[in-house]
């Protein structure tokens, strides 16, 4: 299972759904305030993503 591709696809889906909901007026979000408050969470999520994705230095022989 290729986690990096799945994680990227999932992130794009979530961002798209949020953007659509904001454009349709379903939710009100102040991105500037969210970014000022929650920016450390972005660093944590990037770190977790890097930790969970397999590295490119795979030593198995390729077929």
Can you give the pLDDT at residue 24?
92
Overall pTM > 0.85: no
Cα dihedral sign, 39-42-47-50: negative
CA–CA separation, 30 vs 50, rounded Å? 28
CA–CA separation, 29 vs 19, rounded Å? 10
CA–CA separation, 13 vs 27, rounded Å? 17
Instruction: Provide the residue-wise pLDDT of the chain in tens; the chain has 63 residues.
Output: 455 567 778 888 888 998 899 899 998 988 888 888 988 998 998 888 888 877 656 556 665
């Amino acid at each position: 299972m290729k986690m990096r591709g799945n994680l990227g696809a999932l992130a794009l889906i979530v961002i798209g759904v949020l953007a659509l909901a904001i454009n349709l007026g379903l939710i009100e979000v102040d991105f500037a305030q969210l970014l000022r408050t929650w920016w450390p969470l972005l660093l944590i999520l990037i770190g977790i993503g890097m930790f969970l994705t397999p590295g490119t230095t795979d030593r198995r022989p390729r077929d």
